[in-house]
Amino acid sequence: DQQVKQNSPSLSVQEGRISILNCDYTNSMFDYFLWYKKYPAEGPTFLISISSIKDKNEDGRFTVFLNKSAKHLSLHIVPSQPGDSAVYFCAASGWTGGGADGLTFGKGTHLIIQP
Amino acid sequence: NAGVTQTPKFQVLKTGQSMTLQCAQDMNHNSMYWYRQDPGMGLRLIYYSASEGTTDKGEVPNGYNVSRLNKREFSLRLESAAPSQTSVYFCASSGSLYGYTFGSGTRLTVV
């Protein structure tokens, strides 16, 4: 059973507009959530995270929102730029920082920014 | 540059052959991990090591073994490769609030 779900395999957004990537989780023990960005032929790189004690975290153009009651988080990218085209993975942990027992990843969403 | 180094980057094996994927980190992280990435499946945890001298199974450990040689190095071994093990393998390490640092991956094809 998939504990972290990214239901949109791909998303196409026009340059300059807002990109919204969604993620749902089922395990109520998760208390730390992260987004990773991955370019082809490279490893994933950390983008932004949020602890379950918060409902929003911002870093420049990137904002992550967490709705604990709905077990839902989203990543907003404003404005979207061509370099944002990549696969984005949502990940969750039961221990702040990634946990000794590993992060659980979603299947990823391929974001395509159209010029 | 500081980070996680994986070798080799590419490998083709015949069914039944064995090989070891190497991983080293220079960030003094305690925890290290091996993931595999398959199309439409995301990243799945194979094995992890919470600290030097300990290893534990992840979600998909069958057909693999690991060794945490020291704090820096964590290797993944395929004793008898199968076509189902064709995948991209990522090593990662963790030691902070900011999740993992990943290596650039090993693309393995088993024919």
Q: How far off is chain A from B17, nearest CA to CA, in Å?
A: 25
Res. A41 pLDDT band, cuts 50 70 90: confident
3-state helix/strand/coil string of chain B: CCCEEEECCEEEECCCCCEEEEEEECCCCCEEEEEEEECCCEEEEEEEECCCCCCEECCCCCCEEEEECCCCEEEEEECCCCHHHCEEEEEEEECCCCCEEECCCEEEEEC
Do A102 and A115 meet the contact criterion of CB atoms below 8 Å apart? Answer: no
Res. B95 pLDDT band, cuts 50 70 90: confident
Is residue B78's pLDDT more than 80? yes
CB-closest option in B51, B56, B102 to A43 = B102
Do B88 and B105 meet the contact criterion of CB atoms below 8 Å apart? Answer: yes
Res. A96 pLDDT band, cuts 50 70 90: low
Task: With beta carbons under 8 A apart, name residues in chain A contacting B4.
Answer: 43
Q: How far apart, in whole angstroms, are the C-alpha atoms of residue A30 and residue A103? A: 10
Tell me whether residues A100 and B31 touch, CB distance under 8 A. yes
pLDDT at position B42: 87
Q: How far apart, in whole angstroms, are the C-alpha atoms of residue A62 and residue A77? A: 5
